[in-house]
Amino acid sequence: MSRTRVPLIALAALLLLALVAPAAAGPVRQTAPAADLVDQLIVGLRPGGDLAAQSQAQPDQVAAQLSAETGLSLSYAAAGPAPDLHVLQLPRAMTTAEAAQLAAQVATSPSVAYAEPNVRLYPALIPSDPRYAAEMWHLQPVNPVGTSNPANNYGVNMPPAWDITTGNSNLVVAVIDTGGLLNHEDLAGRTPAGNSGYDFVSDPFVGNDDDGRDPDPSDPGDWVEISDGCGVPTDSSWHGSHVAGTIGASANNGKGVVGVNWASRLLHLRGLGKCGGTLNDIAAAVRWAAGLSVSGVPDNPNPARVINMSLGGGGSCSITMQDAINAAVATGAVVVVAAGNSDQNVSNFQPGNCNNVITVAATDQDGYKASYSNFGSLVELSAPGGDSPLYDTGVLSTVSNGTTSPTTDGYAAYNGTSMASPHVAGIVSLMLSVNPGLSNTEVLDILQDTVTPFPGYSDCSTSTCGAGIVNAGNAVEEAARRVRTLALGSAAQTVSETTGTVSIPLSLSVVSNQNISVPYTVSGTAGGSDHDLTNGTLTIPAGATSANISFNLVNDSVTEPAETIIVTLGTPGGTPPRATLTGPTTHTVTVIDSGTSLLNIGTASVSENGSNYEVAFTVTRQGGLSSTASVSYTIEADLATDVELLAGTVNFAASETSKSVTATIAKSEVGTAPALIVSLSSPSSSAVLGSNTSARLVIDLDQFFLFLPIIRR
């Protein structure tokens, strides 16, 4: 289906945009929320266990014992939302993935039923920037309703992409354009430290800054007067800043707009100025952006992984431009370019017709081809470029309110393939943030395989506007899927049948915006009368990085030998699977009889006492309390070949649940060992060893000094 279009009277030949009047600035700055890091774990203790009982009167003991068992520095934060739940403080704030790994480590304790990061939950990751919800349709989810329906929205679907990543601060995106408003409230602080970019405009007239190439990429304005001799008079466009804002305007700062990527660095390169820019200057900027040497210019210390060029002109792809693009791509950079605004075949416009680039056409809010957009078989895909005022409100981003030189910070809605291209460049930067190993070919394959199809009524087709409209949520999920792994927290654990609930933790290396399911089968010598676990499927919810397979043990009165419950993971769901299994695929739970004691090392420490080290540790006992039990221990120096320093036996009387051991070891025996290792072995016939049978006690060498004689020659 088609609709009548009002033709554009004038199209910019080099700066690929059509302007709408600047919008008002945003409201008063609000406090930005802290980064989404985790600094606490929620720990569920096994009901009926010794630590659970002790925690009722001494909750601090939970952190003390688990710190000793795991070697982590945990402190008690608060009681949890239910009995036997406790919140422990981690030694520092960390990513959810890091916290999940530590949670899996804590969950190996025989006293712990499960542990998980105390994460924040949100309806979805939606920025709080005031103009996002009402005006930035181009970033929002797809909502196909019907032909030219006001409720239609063919945006790039950013929220589910942000649920996976908001960018990697070590990745750089270069914007080759008119320069940047480096102090704009939504762009300040987004460049690499000490390197905001470079001004490659060699002609002082074009540069409009009274000099040639220099390390200042700020945009002085590109207004045109009649006397300039390059067209009708125009105000400054602030084109480079508008493009940069779409890629990376700051998020959640209570101001204006938000960009696609909230964390990666923006590198501003001036290749355009008053009356456009030269091929030589632009090609030099491409090379420098990728980290290649340019004569007379210091090397770029922050090479870009993504390069955006929202610029173009007529003619076939020049050798100079193609060589620069080829050289940049050879370094691993992805080059994204605008198709052009002449409503013609892109084969006649460079750099959109060059090889090794991702050429982007523009669509409007309804999914039609924007009336001005170039098209053709060389277009890889489309993105929102706006087509205001008739068909949408345009693409909103960052500008200055100045008509010539920069003045106050502002925002404006523009139309153009210049506005479409940075959507794709920003999405590519998110894909590479989560999966930096992607090749250029893989990036393009993912972009094209995950698009939103053009609506049936659209005048766009795969032969004119590329594969479809870029879909950030789908593309970033696919990039993440290719490196996402699913792993068991450990391969085995030993528990007493008095334990109650047993948990087997699993963790994802990269979060997903979709549920991930993994089937599992149950085998082993323990039967259905011993536990309630059967074959099933574990689902890790979208946005989570860990989950537990949990089941209950039956504490019977039958005396029997140790039994096993073996859980074997199958292939995660999805076509292709949404995660790859890594590490062991089976977890064996050894269940000992309630009449048998389960022995573990509890707390353990080492301290200095003059010429000696004082070692203190506890051995905990669970189950089998009606009889005596014993276990051997050794203390060794942690050297290339461990040296045994001390050996002994811990004896438990009936009903005893823990024993403390202290030992004095001369420093001269320890020598240069960085740590001491306490190990349990050879339990008595009425006992077995649990999962924590050794502890490595690091010696604080910082407090010891070696004084050497001064030799004078």
The catalytic site residues sit at: 177, 239, 418
The sign of the torsion formed by the CA atoms of 482, 464, 338, 422 equals negative
The sign of the torsion formed by the CA atoms of 386, 389, 392, 393 equals positive
Residue type present at position 298:
P
CA dist 431 and 413 (Å) reads 26
Which DSSP state fits 228?
G
The tally of CA atoms less than 13 A away on the side-chain side of residue 415 is 27
Closest to 545 measured CA to CA, from 510, 574, 579: 510
H or E element at residue 42: strand 38-45
From start to end of 553-670, where are the E strands? 563-569, 580-581, 586-592, 597-609, 612-622, 629-637, 643-652, 658-666
Contact predicate 672/638, CB 8 Å: no
Closest to 52 measured CA to CA, from 356, 499, 606, 448: 499
Please report where in the chains the tokens 């105390």 appear, as a residue. 118
Report strand pairing: 629-637 vs 612-622. Answer: unpaired
Preceding peptide of 144 cis, ω within 30°:
no
For residue 559, is it left (φ>0), alpha (ψ between -120 and 50) or beta?
beta
CA dist 286 and 303 (Å) reads 11
Buried b / exposed e over 586-614, threshold 16 CB at 10 Å, is ebbbbbbbbbbbbbbbbbbebeeeeebbe
CA dist 48 and 156 (Å) reads 52
The tally of CA atoms less than 13 A away on the side-chain side of residue 8 is 22
H or E element at residue 243: helix 239-248
Buried b / exposed e over 322-331, threshold 16 CB at 10 Å, is bebbebbbee
Distance of CA 446 to the CA centre of its chain: 18
DSSP three-state, residue 332: coil
Contact predicate 118/42, CB 8 Å: yes
Please classify residue 440 by burial: count the beta carbons closer than 10 Å to its beta carbon, then call 0-12 exposed, 13-18 middle and 19+ buried. Answer: middle
Report strand pairing: 313-314 vs 349-350. Answer: antiparallel
DSSP three-state, residue 615: strand
